[in-house]
């Protein structure tokens, strides 16, 4: 019997901290963390909302500043930055080689000076037909924010952080990726001093695409290593 594919939202839904990492605005909870059918929020989302309320009343926090910061992380930085790096690596073998040798320095060639305010080093990992790289943070949620944007909720979930190390193939299958038995799975543990960026395999059918067009095909999940990009199929006129 084939295993049922589940969505990102329902992945490990019974985990103890499913809603812990969702973005919270000073105006209230986002839709992802809001209670089902209007039920009150609980746990960490409720505590954060309460803390924002108290600090605002005491004049120690400006709600507009909180909203501006969240908007910055959601719109100004994000997966499109990492996608540019991947696309350049696809079209420029020399750049890719430098990236794999010293990612922190090489990304400066694209005008990127680092991975946010973190002093962490960046390591690039290339997926191939024989090797699938997958990134996790077993301790908390270390993540290259400036390259990939806000980390998804499932990345911070305790169940994902533990299972990704214990049974990575099973986790990847739940994300919709079934690997051949001869494909090696390498799991990399991010830390406060070290972050990773996965360079997914270039999809088939993209040989004539520009670098900008290629960047549009790259997804956040593929740069974490939990998604394999599908072959490109151009739209045909009806």
Q: What span, in angstroms and rounded, lies between the C-alpha atoms of 207 and 91? A: 9
Q: pLDDT tens for residues 69-83?
A: 777 766 778 899 999
- Number of Cβ within a 10 Å radius of residue 168: 19
140 is catalytic: yes
Looking at residue 133, what is its pLDDT? Answer: 98
How large is the C-alpha radius of gyration of the chain?
Answer: 19
Regions in the chain scoring below 50 on pLDDT: 1-38, 116-117
Q: Where are the domains of the chain?
A: 24-74, 77-223
Distance CA 235, CA 15 (A): 40
Instruction: Write down the catalytic residue from 140, 162, 190, 222.
Output: 140
CATH pick for 77-223 out of 3.40.640.10, 3.90.330.10, 1.10.10.10, 3.40.930.10:
3.90.330.10
pLDDT single digits (tens) 100-135: 999 999 999 998 865 544 568 999 999 999 999 999
25 is catalytic: no
- Can you give the pLDDT at residue 138? 95
> Is 105 in the active site?
no
């Amino acid at each position: 019997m084939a295993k049922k594919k589940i969505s990102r939202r329902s992945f490990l839904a019974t985990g103890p901290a499913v809603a812990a990492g969702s973005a919270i605005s000073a105006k209230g909870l986002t839709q992802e963390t809001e209670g089902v059918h209007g039920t009150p929020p609980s746990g960490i989302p409720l505590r954060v909302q309460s803390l924002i309320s108290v600090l605002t009343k005491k004049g120690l926090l400006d709600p507009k500043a909180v909203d501006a910061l969240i908007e910055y992380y959601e719109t100004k930085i994000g997966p499109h930055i990492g996608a540019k790096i991947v696309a350049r690596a696809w079209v420029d073998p020399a750049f890719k080689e430098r990236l794999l040798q010293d990612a922190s320095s090489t990304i400066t060639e694209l005008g990127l000076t680092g991975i946010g305010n973190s002093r962490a080093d960046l390591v690039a990992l290339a997926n191939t037909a024989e090797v699938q790289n997958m990134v996790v943070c077993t301790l908390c949620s270390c993540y290259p924010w400036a390259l990939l944007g806000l980390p998804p909720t499932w990345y911070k979930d305790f169940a994902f952080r533990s299972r990704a190390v214990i049974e990575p193939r099973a986790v990847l299958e739940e994300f919709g990726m079934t690997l051949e038995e001869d494909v090696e799975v390498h799991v990399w543990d991010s830390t406060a001093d070290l972050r990773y960026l996965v360079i997914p395999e270039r999809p088939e059918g993209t040989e004539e695409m520009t670098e900008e067009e290629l960047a549009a095909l790259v997804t956040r999940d593929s740069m974490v290593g939990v998604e394999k990009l599908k072959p490109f199929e151009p739209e045909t006129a009806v």
